Amino acid sequence: MSKLVCVDFGHKGKLLGQDCGAVGNGLYESDLTEIIGEGIVKELSNYEVDIRIAPRGTLNDRTNYANSIKADYFLSTHINASINTSTATGFESFIHNNASQKSLDIQNILHAEIMKYMKQYNVFDRGKKRANFAVLRNSNMSACLIECLFISNVNDAKLLKDDKFLEGLAISVANGMVLGLGLKKKIVDKKVENNNNNKEELIDMAIEKWMKDAGITSLDSLVKNGIINDGNLWSNKMDEKTENWLLFTMMARLLEKINNK
């Protein structure tokens, strides 16, 4: 039976006009927790685990949601800040003061995996700690809160502005959860994967043939022949997947052009 994990992107976000968390060096905590959180979710999607994202509401909204879905684990992501000094730096993790042994065991693994990554950037290890934070106190399952560097520290902020660093950080967090929760890698059915690839290739070949038969050679000619309406719009979406209904509409228009020749 797969595990059910709830990931909390700390704070609400400035676009919601409410709590965006700590602010410093041109950065917003809520922006960073969303980037890191999405990276964690993306990496965990490769494993046999049911991933849910906590609502970005009040602290109670987050834990109430995790409790309602009976999550096996709750992870809250945050960026630290120091009001009194800009020299405070590093990474630390928290579990509740009265946390279970299971929470402690997972924290040990998670913290070690994250610091293994952080040490490449000479990040200071502030240690594994306990606290009476609301999201830890009110969650019914094993839970951990991570504070990923200090937004108030210039050197930490440089790392937090580095997309490559944030991507690696998210992967290290996910790896820690994989090890701590004993998650298994998804088994990819090569036959299904190959069949899907073959279908896409056949569709591409068919469209290419139909376009050739209909005398369609460019986006401009597609517009001229009434296959699409806006060439400029399509030129900006060439790398995106096409909705099936739109693809079928274009096929129908191409067939109509061919049949009318």
Helix axes 29-44, 163-181, angle to 10 degrees: 50
User: Which one of the listed residues 147, 167, 193, 201 is annotated catalytic?
Assistant: 147
Question: Is 208 designated active site?
Answer: no
pLDDT of 43 reads 97
Query: What is the topology classification, in CATH, of domain 3-181?
Result: Aminopeptidase (3.40.630)
Alpha-helix runs per DSSP H in 79-218: 101-118, 134-137, 154-160, 163-181, 190-213
Q: Is the pLDDT of residue 226 over 80?
A: no
Relative to beta strand 23-24, strand 27-28 is antiparallel
Q: Which helix (H) or strand (E) holds 29?
A: helix 29-44
Residues 141-181 pLDDT 10s: 999 999 999 999 999 999 999 999 999 999 999 999 999 99
Residues 58-96 pLDDT 10s: 899 999 999 999 999 999 999 999 988 889 999 999 999
- DSSP-based three-state secondary structure for 11: coil
Burial 159-187, CB ≥16 within 10 A → b, else e: bbeeeebbebbbbbbbbbbbebbebeeee
pLDDT of 243 reads 65
Residue 206's nearest CA partner among 230, 214, 231, 219 is: 214
What Rg, from alpha-carbon coordinates, does the chain have? 24
Residues of the chain above pLDDT 70, percent: 74
- Provide the mean pLDDT of the chain: 86
Is-above-0.85 flag for pTM? Answer: no
Q: Which two tokens stand for residue 23?
A: 């602010």
Domain extents in the chain: 3-181, 190-259
- DSSP-based three-state secondary structure for 245: helix
Q: Is the pLDDT of residue 238 over 60?
A: no
